[in-house]
Amino acid sequence: MMQELGLIDEETGIPTYPLNTDGFDLSVDGAVLRNITILNWDDAVVPKPCKSSYETCQCSSNILVDGAKVKYSVGMTIGTVSPTDPPNCVENVTFANVEMERPLKAVYIKTNYHTDGSATIKNITYVNMTVHDPIWWPVYVGPQQQTQPDGSGSGCDLWDRDCPTEPKVTISDVTLMNVTMDGALWWTPGQMRCNETNPCENFVLNDVSIARRKDSGILKYEWDCDNIHGVFTNVDPELSC
C-alpha cells in the first residue's frame, strides 16, 4: 500500500513524506495564480495572514487560484490562522478548476490556538475540483493537528477528534461547489469542527461527492462535524451537522 501511494523512497525503500515543502505561501492582498503545476508534500497553495508589521497588507485577501494540477501535497489550504491583536484574517479566496492526485488532504482550513486576540476566515470558495485517492482527510476544517517547531500548537495527532477548537477564530461563508473525489482511503469523507461558542456559519456544499476506496475495509463511512451551520445540497455521503 505504501509503495502504491508513492510514500516509499525508490532507492532506500524507506517510508517518507517530506513536510515543510509548501508550494505557494501567500500573505498578500491581491494575487492570481493560473494554470500551475505542483508536486510537493505540504500545503500546495496556502493563503496565510499578513503580519501586523506589513505596511500594505493588513488582511490576506482577494486571491484567485484558477487552474491547478497537484500531485501529493497537504491540500489547497487556508492558514494556519491564529487569533492575534490586531486581528488576523484571510478573506475572499477562490480555488477553481483544481485537479489533485493522492493528497494527504484536499480541502484544508486550519486554525491554531492563542491566548488572546481574534481572527477571521471568510468567503472561501472551492469550485470545480477533482481529486483522486486522497490519503487522509478529503475535507478538513478545524484545529491544526501538530506542534510547531517553537513548541506552539495543539500537539494533537492526525486522528484525534478531541483536538480543541479555537473559539477566537470566526469561520464563515465557506463554499464547496462541484467537488468530486474518488478512492478516499480514510474512514470519513471529511471532518469539519468549530467551537460551540462560535459556530461556523453560512457553509454551502453543493454537488459534492466523496467516494471511498472500494477495498478500504471501512464499515462505516460518514462525515464527522460539529457546530457547522449552512446549506448542504446533493452531498454524497449525506451531510448532517
8 A C-beta contact, residue 109 and residue 160: no
- Ordered strands of the 88-101 beta sheet: 29-40, 60-72, 88-101, 119-132, 169-184, 200-212, 228-236
pLDDT band per the 50, 70, 90 thresholds, residue 13: low
Q: Is the pLDDT of residue 167 over 90?
A: yes
Per-residue model confidence (pLDDT) at position 204 = 98
Average model confidence (pLDDT) across the chain:
89
Q: How far is CA 76 from CA 47, 176, 182, 229, in A?
A: 9, 12, 17, 22
pLDDT at 160: 57
What is the rounded distance in angstroms from the CA atom of residue 32 to the CA atom of residue 7?
Answer: 31
What's the helix, strand, coil split of the chain in %, to 5? 0, 55, 45
Cell numbers representing residue 114 in the block = 492563542
Measured distance CA(140)–CA(15) in Å, rounded: 24
pLDDT above 80 (res 105) = yes
| Averaged pLDDT for residues 110-138 | 95
Q: Which amino acid is at 192?
A: M
Which helix (H) or strand (E) segment is 182 a member of? strand 169-184
| pLDDT for residue 145 | 76
- pLDDT for residue 131: 98
The tens digit of pLDDT for each residue in 32-66 reads 999 999 999 899 999 999 987 888 899 999 999 99
pLDDT band at 190 (very low <50, low <70, confident <90, very high): very high
Instruction: Report pLDDT for 11.
Output: 64
The pLDDT of 130-159, averaged and rounded, is 77
| For range 197-225, the mean pLDDT | 90
Q: Which three cell numbers stand for residue 81?
A: 490562522
| pLDDT score recorded for residue 6 | 57
What per-residue confidence (pLDDT) applies to 47?
98
Give the torsion sign (CA, 113, 162, 122, 201): negative
pLDDT band at 129 (very low <50, low <70, confident <90, very high): very high
